[in-house]
């Protein structure tokens, strides 16, 4: 048994988020610019290299693997990677294999994802208004995403909706989103927009303290002690029994329990979403067929994991802004 990964603050690293591509078939305006320049395909790790990296992390104690992008399902032959990860589920070393997606390709892949051992997916959906959806995503179609969500449900996948709280954009849809998710049986999590890349975040920042207060005007909210291994804290709406997640990196720093790191499609390991420090794992990965050097590099990176991020909206000027777009790190 390998010595588990533990950061300087005694947090065991059990959760790896892996971006398999920076490409996406949408151009959500809070995530990337419209004329996004994507990485050359030659810079990306191969699926075999991603397998080796993820397998090394699992051997070092990672128990939860979330596949992200860009949009992960636009990566060529991506289902081969999911099928490869299935062996870790079968062995019991990996407890959970999940996916974050924009939903556009779920109609094509939902059944196969379920066959590979994926039990649930997170779908980004900020609005139920087709015109607003087209404006936010710049090229997405709401009907395609809703059809993908239905395909996921039909395949037996649990669906969680992630909605970015955008002031002046989807404020008026707070209750319709809650009611739609309740009717469909989907979990729902709201996320504060984060200052990453050129996303005009300050103009549309809607603090979840305000969102929660609006929910409380209609429902009785009970704080839940439940934690899913991610940054969300949860409340229950007593009138419906519905669980609502709140991800608040700005109004409520969730760093004290952070047990995750993020791997990009080029082999960069970011120990914190809100810090620029990263470690190059591609070089040791390719330097030797042995994993010894790779394990050493991973442990050295975890030893640099900071206590928390630097995001701050407390002033009119955003501080702690990350120059890289969200799509580069994978959320």
Is 23 annotated among the ligand-binding residues?
no
Coil, helix or strand at residue 51: helix
Is 28 annotated among the ligand-binding residues?
yes
CB 187 within 8 A of CB 246: no
DSSP characters for 80-108? HHHHHHHHHHHHTS--EEEEEE-STTHHH
Is 304 annotated among the ligand-binding residues?
no
- Give the per-residue SS3 of 125-181: CCCCCHHHHHHHHCCCCHHHHHHHHHHHHHCCCEEEEEEEEECCCCHHHHHHHHHHH
Is 329 annotated among the ligand-binding residues?
no
Is 262 annotated among the ligand-binding residues?
yes
Q: Tokens standing for 148? A: 């993908």
Is 123 annotated among the ligand-binding residues?
no
Is 41 annotated among the ligand-binding residues?
no
Is 258 annotated among the ligand-binding residues?
yes
Is 260 annotated among the ligand-binding residues?
yes
Is 79 annotated among the ligand-binding residues?
no
Alpha helices in the chain (DSSP H): 47-59, 78-91, 106-115, 130-137, 142-154, 174-184, 201-204, 208-216, 282-287, 292-302, 326-329
Pick the closest to residue 305 from 266, 267, 260 (CA basis).
Answer: 260
Is 124 annotated among the ligand-binding residues?
yes
Is 265 annotated among the ligand-binding residues?
no
Q: Tokens standing for 199? A: 């996303």
Is 323 annotated among the ligand-binding residues?
no
CB 327 within 8 A of CB 20: no
Is 70 annotated among the ligand-binding residues?
yes
Is 164 annotated among the ligand-binding residues?
no
Pick the closest to residue 281 from 60, 38, 74, 77 (CA basis).
Answer: 60
Distance CA 101, CA 330 (A): 10
- Rg from Cα positions in the chain: 19
* Binding annotation for [4Fe-4S] cluster: 24, 28, 31, 255, 258, 272
- Residues annotated within a binding site for S-adenosyl-L-methionine: 30, 70, 124, 194
Binding site: residue ranges? Answer: 17, 24, 28, 30-31, 66, 70, 100, 124, 160, 194, 255, 258, 260-262, 272
Specify binding-site residues for GTP.
17, 66, 100, 160, 260-262
């Amino acid at each position: 048994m390998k010595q588990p990964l533990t950061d300087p603050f005694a947090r065991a690293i059990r959760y790896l988020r892996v971006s398999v591509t920076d490409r996406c078939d949408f151009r959500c305006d809070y995530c990337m610019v419209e004329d996004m320049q994507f990485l050359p395909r030659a810079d990306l790790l191969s699926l075999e290299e991603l397998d080796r990296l993820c397998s090394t992390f699992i051997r070092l104690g990672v128990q939860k693997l979330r596949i992200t992008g860009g949009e992960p399902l636009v990566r060529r032959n991506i289902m081969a990677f999911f099928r490869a990860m299935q062996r870790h589920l079968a062995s019991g070393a990996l407890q959970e294999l999940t996916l974050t997606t924009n939903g556009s390709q779920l109609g094509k892949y939902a059944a196969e994802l379920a066959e590979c051992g994926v039990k649930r997916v997170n779908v980004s959906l900020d609005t139920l208004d087709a015109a607003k959806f087209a404006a936010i995503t710049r090229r997405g179609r709401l009907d395609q995403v809703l059809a993908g969500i239905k395909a996921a449900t039909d395949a037996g996948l649990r669906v969680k909706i992630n909605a970015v709280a955008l002031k002046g954009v989807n404020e008026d849809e707070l209750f319709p989103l809650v009611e739609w998710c309740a009717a469909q049986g989907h979990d729902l999590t709201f996320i504060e927009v984060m200052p990453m890349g050129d996303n005009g975040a300050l103009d549309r920042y809607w603090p979840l303290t305000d969102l929660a207060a609006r929910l409380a005007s209609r429902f009785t909210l009970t704080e839940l002690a439940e934690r899913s291994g991610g940054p969300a804290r949860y409340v229950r709406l007593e009138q419906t029994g519905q669980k609502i997640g709140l991800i608040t990196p700005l109004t409520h720093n969730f760093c004290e329990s952070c047990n995750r790191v993020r791997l990009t499609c080029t082999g960069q390991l970011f120990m914190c979403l809100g810090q620029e420090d990263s470690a190059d794992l591609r070089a040791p990965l390719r330097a030797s067929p042995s994993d010894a050097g790779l394990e050493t590099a991973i442990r050295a990176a975890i030893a640099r994991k900071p206590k928390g991020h630097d995001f701050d909206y407390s002033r009119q000027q955003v501080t702690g802004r990350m120059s890289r777009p969200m799509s580069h790190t994978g959320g």
